[in-house]
Each structure stands twice: as structure tokens, then as C-alpha cells.
Structure 1
């Protein structure tokens, strides 16, 4: 049986990821061997992909939980046998939802709320998705920080906030909006698809890839000639994110027709 060090080295790309993956293995052992529920901090989508590969390889029992379906930031939950997934939505859930309401004509942004949270000492890994609406915002946090946030978060931007906790069941689930379009490419190369999806030149797309600004299925991809398939998700810093919905027929000139769903 491989040691923890061997396992993490086989899946991690750097020392930071080794520490992260080792902590997940520790939490899995705590739940399975000692019967203690254990949870990670919030993970990015990239971290989730890497962690799932390792945890699936060791046949770990876990849940990825962000508070609602299709949450971008989520925690890894390791539950002993006497608990099931319903525990995550109970009063003892590891996550809490804060509703922040404010008055004023200017709508506050994701950056306004995140900046205010970090301004009172909350680390990024303790905050999940931040869902802004007109005159209010909902954000998910690690539950143990709830009293501190309710007491200390007074404003965001220049607006005063009225804070309250709401049950996870009352969290308004955001509707994911897409802009669907068709394009044609000479090949399904990563850089060619980026060019088509975000309406930039092939040369500019290659620059984004080479600079490490482009991701394929939430993982950084430095290979412009990587083949993109139906269902793959591509993202470029500063440009957005898109899903390759389907690949159609090849034209007489040899170009492939593709359907792209760009996240609005």
C-alpha cells in the first residue's frame, strides 16, 4: 500500500498541492477511523478536480458541498457511517448562509463584499460563493465564523449592511445564464477553440495559453495543441468561461462547426 507521501506526490503538481492533498487524506482517516465528521476549507474548481482524482483513487467516501447545486466554490466533507448527506443541510451543517441587505441606488459587486470580508480578517478559503442581487447579497461561509461576521461586518463599499443568517434551504439559487453561438474552426486545438469562443485572434489565444491564463476543465493548460472535446469547459482570465456544447459537420473547406455556450 502506498504511503501518504507517495500518494500526494503522484497527484500534486507542487508543494502547496501536496500539503492540501495530505490534509484531505487526514480528514478522510478521521471520519472513517475515528468516526469524527471532518471538513476542508472552501476549494476552487481547480483544487476540486485535483482532489477528486486522488480521493477516487483511494476509494474515499466524500461529498463535495458548496451549499447549493452547481456552486463554484465548495468544501470536501468526510462523514462517518452514522451520518448521511442530509447532515450537510441540517442546523449542524459546516456551512452557513449570510444575507446582507443595504439601501442605495448603486448595486454592490462581488468584489465589494469579498473586499469587506477580507478587510475584517476573513481568509478567502473561508468564503464560498458570493451571490449578488439588487440591494442584497448572499454569501456562504464556514459556520464557525458566523458569529464573528455577524458582529463585525458593518459595510461593503460605502453602504451600511444589515446582516442575518438564513437556512440553506432558503438560499435563492442563481439561474445560470448562457449565450449560445456557433463558430467554425480548422481543428479542435485548444488555442483555436479559444479564438473562436472569445472572438480573438489565434495569435492572441496562443499568448493567453503560453502565459498560463487559460484553463481546460478547470485545470491550467499550457498546450495550445491540446484537443478539446464536446462537453469540455474552457476559461481564460479576463475573457470568461465557455462550454463546448457539440461538434457538428465538417464543411467543404474542412472547417468544423461547433456550438459554444458562453457563461453570461
Structure 2
């Protein structure tokens, strides 16, 4: 299966993992569950599954708005249930009058307990706070996660039908760019100069799909999630092809501070 040429060399490990899961599902004719995947990983997996005639892939992250999702690769006759994804929605209660908790606080504390990022789905912060976790860590986190920023907290597992929406507001932009180089994209996203975007990248303040990237000529693709320290996040929604003047038309969304 000559698929590596369609993706980045640093994505080879993910590609190998996804091919292996597809081969297991195909060979054993049984569903195979993944960890939580970001949008780019979901895109890669969907592409690979498309090369297997008898397989389909299903995604679930809590609701339609979820960014991080688990996937089930399965024979085309199989229809998964919510329980098949083996994940739980946990609500966090804390003394909001005395402490302000952010997405970063919650993520950092959970990961400090030894839980990998790929075991954690979306963290939703609104007037209430919820997060999604693989089910096998449910008992562990109920015992170990008792404080965040020094404040005592209480956790409870709730049904996915009670999942709240984030108060984060993403903005959609349609622009024309000269190239899909990272420095060009960061320049447009941050509305700054090319020189400053280069400084941000070389200063290791930019991540693409949670990987630190310091090469200004790194090529950005659809479904890439960019994190720019000091600014916020952006996701490349679509490459809409060339304009009449030979430039590239893209759609991206931003969530900035």
C-alpha cells in the first residue's frame, strides 16, 4: 500500500498504526477501536480506511461539535453504539467564586496524573466544566483528581445527552495566500508581518497538530490544527484551489484570546 507519499514523513508512525488497525479489522472481520484522534489524524485514518473495500470508519467524540474523537474501524455491516466507543463524560464541580479554571489548568492537571493526551477527548469550559476520557481511566481519575490550582473539586460521570457546548467562539475566514508555507499561513492568521511570523516559528511558539514546528517552509494542509503561543488556535478547514491569479484560496477558523 503506497500511501506514504500522500502524507508527511513525520506522520509515518500514525500511518503505520492506522494501517495495522485496518488490517486487523479486515483480517479478523471485527471492529477495532482507536484512541482519541485530532482532526488531522481523523483525516489520515479516513483516507486509509477508504483503501479497504470492506471496511468503514465511524467517529464519536461526545457530540457533533467535538474536535477530538475516537474511531471504530469495522466491517461495513457493523453499526457501533455509544457504548462501543468506551468513553465517559465527566463533570467537574469547583468553588467558582474563589478560583477561575481554564482549559489549560484542567489539561495540565490531568496529564500530570500520568494520563496521555490520546486518552483524553474534548475539555469543555462554560458556566460548567466537562471533559471526556477513555472509560478505563474513569475509576483512576475519580480517586486521583481531587484538586486543581489548589482548589478542591468534585467529579461525577454524566450521560452524553447532558454534554454542554463550549463558550469558545470560532471565527471563519476565507483568504487568498501565496503559498501554504507555515510562515505565510501564520502571517495571515495572526495578521502580522512575515518577519514576525518567522520569529514566532523559529522561536518555537508554533505547534501543528500538537507538534512543535520550527521550520518556516513547513507545508500546511487541510485539517491541520495550529497553536500559536500568545494568540490562540486555528484550524485549516479547506484548500479551495487556485484563484485566477494563481494564488491559493483557503478557509480557516480561529479561536484567539
TM-score band w.r.t. shorter chain: 0.7 to 0.9
**Residues 165 and 262 of structure 1: is their aligned pair in 2 closer, same or farther, counting only changes over 3 Å?**
same
1:37 to 24, 31, 35: 31
TM-score (norm 1): 0.71
Whole-Å separation in 1 of the counterparts to 2:220 and 2:72: 33
Correspondences of 1:183-222 after superposition (within 5 Å): 188-190=178-180, 191-192=183-184, 194-208=186-200, 213=206
Q: 2:74 is matched with which residue? A: 79
**1:79 alignment partner, SS class:** strand
Whole-Å separation in 1 of the counterparts to 2:58 and 2:64: 12
Larger Rg: 1
CA contact (8 A) 1:12 1:50 kept: no
Unpaired segments ≥5 residues, structure 2: none
Q: 1:253 is matched with which residue? A: none
CA RMSD after TM alignment: 4.2
User: Is 2:100 aligned against 1:104?
Assistant: no
Deviation digits for residues 36-81 of structure 1 (CA, Å, limit 9, x no counterpart): 4321111233333333333323454112322222322222212345
Unpaired segments ≥5 residues, structure 1: 251-255
CA contact (8 A) 1:189 1:225 kept: no
**Residues 37 and 226 of structure 1: is their aligned pair in 2 closer, same or farther, counting only changes over 3 Å?**
closer
CA contact (8 A) 2:39 2:225 kept: no
TM-score (norm 2): 0.72
Whole-Å separation in 1 of the counterparts to 2:196 and 2:163: 40
How many residues are matched? 244
Whole-Å separation in 2 of the counterparts to 1:121 and 1:225: 31
